[in-house]
Amino acid sequence: MKILVCPLNGPRPVSEFAYGGEVRRSPDPNTCSDAEWSSYVFNRSGSPGVKYEWWCHIASGFWFVVLRDTTRDVVIDTFPAEAVRRGLPTPPAAAAP
């Protein structure tokens, strides 16, 4: 990946972006166990696959979500944060790992 298509700014060199890690949902800190919380804080899905990730276009400060294959470094889709506010779409079957 050398160029990333930003939903706001269009195609830009990847050096203009910051990677923000995988999109993750936190457990409710009031009800979850200590083990669930430490697992959320530290553990990551380290295996390759098709993952939803946070990316930021640094110059415009625009955060958005990228669906990317971490084995081939190919972007499958991008979403402005607004579009995934109520939950992430299911990845297309063809792109599943």
Partner 1 sequence: MPHRLLRFGLSRKHPEPRMFTRHDSLKTGYDVVIIGAGGHGLAAAYYLARDHGIRNVAVLDKGYLGGGNTGRNTTIIRSNYLTPEGVKFYDESVRLWQDLATDFDLNLFYSARGHYTLAHTDSAMRTMRWRAEVNKHYGVRSEAVDAAFVKRGIPSLDMTCGGHAPILGALFHEPGAIARHDAVAWGYGRGADQRGVEIHQQTEVTGIRVQGGRVVGVDTTRGPIAASKVLCAVAGFTPRILDMVDLHTPIYVHPLQAMVSEPVKPWLDPIIVSGSLHVYVSQSARGELVMGASLDPYELHATRPTLDFVEGLASHMLDMFPFLSEVKVNRQWAGLADMTPDFAPIMGVTPVEGFFLDAGWGTWGFKATPVCGKTMSHTVATGRNHPLIEGFTFDRFARYQLTGEKGAASVGH
Q: Which residues bind partner 1 (CB under 8 A)?
A: 2, 14-15, 18-19, 22, 34-35, 38-39, 41-48, 51, 53, 70-73
Cβ distance to partner 1 smaller for residue 22 or 77:
22
CB of 64 to partner 1, least distance (A): 14
- State the DSSP string of 73-94: TEEEEEEEGGGGTT-PPPPPGG
CB of 56 to partner 1, least distance (A): 12
The rounded distance, in Å, linking the Cα atoms of 93 and 97 is 9
Cβ distance to partner 1 smaller for residue 60 or 71:
71
CB of 33 to partner 1, least distance (A): 11
Contact 65/78 with Cβ under 8 angstroms? yes
Contact 86/44 with Cβ under 8 angstroms? no
> Cα 87 to the chain's mean position, in Å?
12
The rounded distance, in Å, linking the Cα atoms of 95 and 97 is 6
CB of 17 to partner 1, least distance (A): 9
Cβ distance to partner 1 smaller for residue 49 or 86:
49
